[in-house]
Chain A
């Protein structure tokens, strides 16, 4: 399987705290993307980081990418209850068109 892995599988924090999720993948990539999914709903695209980038910011989101370790992290600062969702990384492989998702992190932000 080319599916990546994420940790932790589940994370529960208090509102206002920061949340960090990690993603590891297996193949060479063009880019890596992070998505959010609320329970039973579709995917919401959060941020894309290209293979030649090391860090990217978008609002309260900060993503890092280490291609030598084949890993990425997503940091959500000053979390809110509305951030409660599952978060997935997805890799856009260097060869082929396929997109492979990580196993996901379920984040719960307690008000």
Chain B
């Protein structure tokens, strides 16, 4: 099956800093990638749809200026959490669509102190 990687797998940062998370499709091209957020003991919530070469589409309630998404190539999408605060601490998971379904990355755990 298709492989999606994320980097970093874990990041700890101070409040007010910005953090960039990368999502890569390793053996296929993905025109569309998705970003999810998961708080402890909760389900995955779709944050935004990342489209190669165009602006991302954000779900209702997700601040686009807070969560910057750049899908610069067919194999890379990045999520930047700007001016991170403790309430942004979460597990962020990306996915890419291929072969009729979605493949998920291993996730990035963000802790904001």
Q: Which A residues are closer than 8 A to B by beta carbons?
A: 3, 30-31, 33, 35, 40-43, 45, 48, 88, 90, 92, 97-104, 106
Minimum distance in angstroms from B77 CB to a CB of chain A: 13
Give the number of residues in B that approach A within 8 Å (Cβ atoms).
22
CA distance A13 to B20 in the complex (A): 41
Of A45, A48, A98, A104, most B-chain CB atoms within 10 Å: A98
B67 at the interface (CB under 8 A from A): no
Q: Per DSSP, are chain A's interface residues mostly helix, strand or loop, or mixed?
A: strand
Q: Which B residues are closer than 8 A to A by beta carbons?
A: 32, 34, 36, 41-46, 49, 91, 93, 95, 97, 100-102, 104-107, 109
CA distance A31 to B97 in the complex (A): 13
> Contact between A43 and B43 (Cβ–Cβ < 8 Å)?
no
CA distance A104 to B41 in the complex (A): 9
> Contact between B105 and A98 (Cβ–Cβ < 8 Å)?
no
> Contact between B106 and A97 (Cβ–Cβ < 8 Å)?
no
